[in-house]
Structure 1
Amino acid sequence: MSKEGQKRNVVIVGGGYAGALLARSLSGSLNPHKYNLILINERPFAIHLLAGARMTVSEEGNFEHLAVMPYDNLFINGNGRVVVGRVTEIEETAKGKGGWVVLQSGPLDFPYSRQEMHEHIQYWRRMYERANHIVLIGGGAVGIETAGELRDVYPNKKITIVQADDMLLNPTYPTKYRKDIEKRVRARKIDMVFSELTDYIPQYGTMGLTTRSGMSLPTADLIVPTFGPRPNTKWIASLGPDVLDERRLVKVEPTFEVVNHPGVFAIGDITDCNEQKQALKYTTHATVAAANILSFLEGRPRTKKYKGSTEIILIPIGKRRGSAYFDILWGIVLGDWFVRWLKGGDLVVNQTRRDRGL
């Protein structure tokens, strides 16, 4: 908080897709004589996760450099700054009156510098190259895309996806689409094992994998978890027991204001919005939240409301194959040409760079 008469601080925690879009929007709207705009992120750069599978499999496309994006030009007219650190909690002075964020610095679980990112990527490329039978644990979008990228580079390696459900993806999507993408994955000579769970991920160098039911994949020599991480909401839970729902997601109003906490807004993966967590939805999240943040700062009612998004998913299975689903009309399924045109080629990295002023 700033003292009376001084500039007020507007703090955004997290510089991923949603946070970066919100920071850029607010930097063009906030009066720099009245407000300090501060973006706090764990790394001094953003990672374009849609390119993660491809850049850890091969050097093609130069994604190691293009998908690791600096924040240098994020703020319009330089109206904002980045602080590198991890937020561990929020302390409110009084509801609607602001407070403090508490930072923790130090080593993180994921690569923290560009050099560490380079080493991490090179490590995984070596692991994939050396392996004979790669097992991917998780049959969601990440697992499918990783399998496709591997098949492009290694046409003869054995690749297996182990999925806990009885089909790929999750029940948000209709059976016809889940079966369509299974057919396309099998056409790339990728094996699938359904309705199997694993209790642990063996270390590299350990041969074989045994599932909870006792099924064995004895030739597996590289086991890779490809299920998505849970959103980190522990830090915002410090506001009180009313902040999170039973799934540990942040309860938000249609304005994206945190329930019972005026002046605190949440967008992106951490929200309890009834939708799949996808970057393509977060442009709308940021637009709605930015309008309401400006209203809050100016003492006006927050009237802009989020009405949800149509479920859309585009999954490349390598650079030239893939499947897409649009939850409109009867549910539209599109194939290779559409995914290749819209996503498979550059994995939306160029548009994402433009969104960050690069």
Structure 2
Amino acid sequence: MSAKTNIVVVGGGYGGIAVATKLELALHKTHQIILIERKTHFYHAIGGLRTVVEDGFENKVIIPYDNLFKHGGKVLHAAVTTIHKNEIIVDTETELGTHIPFKYLIIATGSNQSKPARMTADNKEEGIAEIIAQREAVKNANKILIIGGGPVGIELAGEIASVYQKKEVTLIHSENHLLTDKFPKKLTDSLAKQLRELNVKLIFGEKVIFPSSGIGDGLSPLTLETDKGTQIYSDVQFVAFGAKPNTEVIKTLDESIIEQNTTLVKVKPTLQLEHDDYAHIFALGDITNIKETKLAYRANLHADVISKNIIALINNKKLAEYSPGPEAMLVPIGKDKGATVLPIGNMVVGSFITKNLKGKTLLVDKTWKSLNAKFVA
């Protein structure tokens, strides 16, 4: 066991790797940075949607953690089963054992998206098999149903329809337009127009009634009915809504810091847990009860505040507070189309900026760099 004081990060998603690398850079001489992550590889979910249409793209979105740390930080592949005030317990024997003490803890456990916006497998080999099964199902399907008209549903419909013009792609959304009322009408109208130009059928104001047995892996023919009686047959179904925050393990610390109705974690503006006993424990990303859209770039902003605040606590300085900024979202439709709302006066821009900022590469190069990994084609 290192003589250095432990700072533990639970969860190796976008926010987790950002805060872990920032803290290691600043504090490696005095603190041991430890990232706990069950999976052997990072899954670049922002690029994951393209894997259903592009052969080999899985190799661009499954990224090793091997070179994440440059100054002796440790990545431990295990799942946290219990959180105590100054110690976590993991389910796997690691080089540091199963009981790992900490001075500071950052909880970055994220949310459970549906495939292909996440990889359920714990390792690369099984993850690739998972992706190939989805891609083959899409390739062989005539009718594809996407349930949910948020950014994931829109992007997924765009990826499929821009590659397979002859397939019948239907997107159903419970709102009366794409996204939500938080976003400018110009943005939602532009995205709807572009999808329709790709012959995507849009059904608004209806909810799918899921059978009690669920829809399995979504890769088999199925007829589903909406709350308004519309019957929709499809060969493949993708669920693109209802991400659930992964906060169950936090209840082992203290159930009172979880909101009952949302299961989100209560945090202070400093991103410390909202409880005076846990001033040394922080949370970031999708699991927090901050009133803002849950997007990857916001987890990176949370990471900035938390890394500064842990350094401030160590040096007895005043803590910074996080303030949600204006809405910003890039929504590509395939490699060449899409629309974006900028955080400057709700300005909406079109395909040129969207494809160059995100659509062409889906931030693959940037993400590999953030893990200090080198992509080999």
For normalisation by structure 2, the TM-score amounts to: 0.85
Which structure has the highest strand share of the two? 2
Distance 2:82 2:318 in 1: 25
Distance 1:40 1:280 in 2: 21
Residue 228 and residue 80 in structure 1: after superposition, are their counterparts in 2 closer, same or farther (change >3 A)?
farther
Q: Which residue of 2 aligns with 1:73?
A: 67
How far did 1:90 drift? 0.8
8 A contact 2:293–2:327 mirrored in 1:
yes
Does 2:186 correspond to 1:189? no
How far did 1:149 drift? 0.8
8 A contact 2:119–2:127 mirrored in 1:
no
Distance 2:365 2:280 in 1: 33
Distance 2:222 2:289 in 1: 40
Distance 1:68 1:228 in 2: 23
8 A contact 1:255–1:302 mirrored in 2:
no
8 A contact 1:315–1:322 mirrored in 2:
yes
Distance 2:164 2:195 in 1: 15
Residue 117 and residue 319 in structure 1: after superposition, are their counterparts in 2 closer, same or farther (change >3 A)?
same
How far did 1:221 drift? 1.8
- Which residue type is aligned with residue 258 of structure 1? L
8 A contact 2:266–2:288 mirrored in 1:
yes
Question: What per-residue deviation string (whole Å, max 9, x for no partner) do you get for residues 13-44 of structure 1?
Answer: 00100000011111111144x42211011201
SS at match of 1:39: strand
Distance 1:119 1:83 in 2: 24
1:15 to 8, 12, 16: 12
Does 2:151 correspond to 1:141? yes
How far did 1:173 drift? 1.0
Does 2:141 correspond to 1:122? no
Question: What per-residue deviation string (whole Å, max 9, x for no partner) do you get for residues 196-228 of structure 1?
Answer: 11232545433422123321124x221221225
2:365 to 339, 350, 356: 350
How far did 1:241 drift? 3.1
Does 2:253 correspond to 1:266? no
- Which residue type is aligned with residue 88 of structure 2? V
- Which residue type is aligned with residue 367 of structure 2? T
Does 2:301 correspond to 1:284? yes
Distance 2:53 2:119 in 1: 20
Does 2:49 correspond to 1:53? yes
- Which residue type is aligned with residue 168 of structure 1? L
8 A contact 1:316–1:344 mirrored in 2:
yes
- Which residue type is aligned with residue 67 of structure 1? V
Distance 1:223 1:117 in 2: 19
Does 2:296 correspond to 1:305? no
Does 2:36 correspond to 1:40? yes
Distance 1:189 1:109 in 2: 29
Q: Which residue of 2 aligns with 1:325?
A: 341
8 A contact 2:305–2:322 mirrored in 1:
yes
Does 2:177 correspond to 1:162? no
8 A contact 1:57–1:124 mirrored in 2:
no
Residue 21 and residue 109 in structure 1: after superposition, are their counterparts in 2 closer, same or farther (change >3 A)?
closer
8 A contact 2:43–2:119 mirrored in 1:
no
8 A contact 2:209–2:224 mirrored in 1:
no
Distance 1:163 1:332 in 2: 24
How far did 1:170 drift? 1.6
8 A contact 1:250–1:270 mirrored in 2:
yes
- Which residue type is aligned with residue 166 of structure 1? N
8 A contact 2:267–2:289 mirrored in 1:
yes
8 A contact 1:90–1:239 mirrored in 2:
yes
- Which residue type is aligned with residue 307 of structure 1? S
- Which residue type is aligned with residue 227 of structure 1? F
8 A contact 1:142–1:228 mirrored in 2:
no
Q: Which residue of 1 aligns with 2:79?
A: 86
RMSD: 2.1
SS at match of 1:143: helix
Q: Which residue of 2 aligns with 1:64?
A: 58
1:178 to 179, 185, 188: 188
Give structure 1 regions of 4+ aligned residues with deviation exceeding 4 angstroms: none
- Which residue type is aligned with residue 154 of structure 2? I
Distance 2:208 2:38 in 1: 30
Distance 2:317 2:281 in 1: 14
**Identity among equivalent pairs (%):** 32
List alignment gaps of at least 5 residues for structure 1: 93-98
Question: What per-residue deviation string (whole Å, max 9, x for no partner) do you get for residues 124-181 of structure 1?
Answer: 1110011110001111111111111111221100000011111111222133322221
- Which residue type is aligned with residue 89 of structure 2? V
SS at match of 1:196: coil
Q: Which residue of 2 aligns with 1:232?
A: 246
